[in-house]
Amino acid sequence: MRIAKWLSQAGLCSRREAERWIAEGRVKVNGEVITSPGTQVEDAASILVDNRPLRLPQRPQLWLYYKPRGLLCTRNDPQGRPTIFEALPFKHHIISVGRLDLNSEGLLLLTNNGELARYCELPKTGWQRYYAVRVYGELNEKALHELTNGITIDGIQYGKIQVEVTRQGQSNAWLYVTLTEGKNREIRVVMAHLGLAVNRIKRLAYGPFQLGKLLPGKVVEIPYETFAHHFPFLNKPC
């Protein structure tokens, strides 16, 4: 297996991060610093990162997690705010698939496999993200409908966004929003551009995986046999 893929599948980092570690001279195979992410390694190889031995890659695992509001999707926050990795009930080497910002909640996929996380996030994979969004302000349904053509805000191009008004009151409305890309704070930025203040964002689904009846703060593992068919590379040789 290629060393960059080995590190990624060990759940330590993404493949891109692995390539950076190798370029920085942080990775040794059988006592030698390597310089190529394509270096082939055997199961019995001695592999160290920052002179620390690593375990062999485990079988890919995938969890559904209901991220509550008020948690960051990062391992360390300079401001000392709470993170999902502190709140989770286990200490696996895990990676979050994408992120939800501090005040957003709902479905977050977790995995021990960097290659699997990368596949979920790649635009070419085509997995859509689904959200329930509460907004305040006057709705312009024509402008909302035109988001299906994409929109450019402050020089940033956002892809197709589908919006359905599911409930409307005197001062607020609930929207069902489908994203094709999921750029940083995309929903908040686009709605603010349309004069709408976002009060709540809840992710309901990510690609084929749904939040369902999972409660805030709860996490459940998906059996390998249930999710593996969504990832063609799992059945390919390394």
- pLDDT, one tens digit per residue, over 61-116 is 999 999 999 999 988 889 999 999 999 987 667 889 999 999 999 999 999 888 89
Are 128 and 179 within 8 A, CB to CB?
A: yes
- Using DSSP's 3-state secondary structure scheme, residue 92 falls into coil
Average pLDDT, the chain: 90
HSE-up (13 A, CA, CB side) for residue 127? 19
Mean of the pLDDT values across residues 174-179?
97
- In DSSP terms, 32 is beta-bridged to 29
Rounded to the nearest 10 degrees, how much is the dihedral formed by the CA atoms of 101, 107, 108, 111? 180
Q: pTM, whole model, 2 decimals?
A: 0.77
- Using DSSP's 3-state secondary structure scheme, residue 96 falls into strand
Query: Which residues are annotated as catalytic?
Result: 101
Round to whole Å and give the CA distance between 236 and 25. Answer: 29
Round to whole Å and give the CA distance between 176 and 149. Answer: 17
Mean of the pLDDT values across residues 186-194?
96
Residue-by-residue DSSP string for 99-119: ---TT-EEEEEEES-HHHHHH
pLDDT of residue 238: 41
Mean of the pLDDT values across residues 113-139?
92
Q: CA angle 77-110-87, nearest 5°?
A: 45
Phi-psi region of 110 (alpha: psi -120 to 50; beta: other; left: phi over 0): beta
Round to whole Å and give the CA distance between 110 and 61. Answer: 8
Phi-psi region of 228 (alpha: psi -120 to 50; beta: other; left: phi over 0): alpha
Start-to-end CA distance of the chain, whole Å, equals 5
Round to whole Å and give the CA distance between 38 and 3. Answer: 6
Mean of the pLDDT values across residues 35-41?
87
Q: Name the band, by pLDDT with cuts 50, 70 and 90, for residue 233.
A: confident
Angle at which helices 15-23 and 114-121 pack, to 10 degrees? 120
**Residues listed for the chain:** 238
Are 179 and 121 within 8 A, CB to CB?
A: no
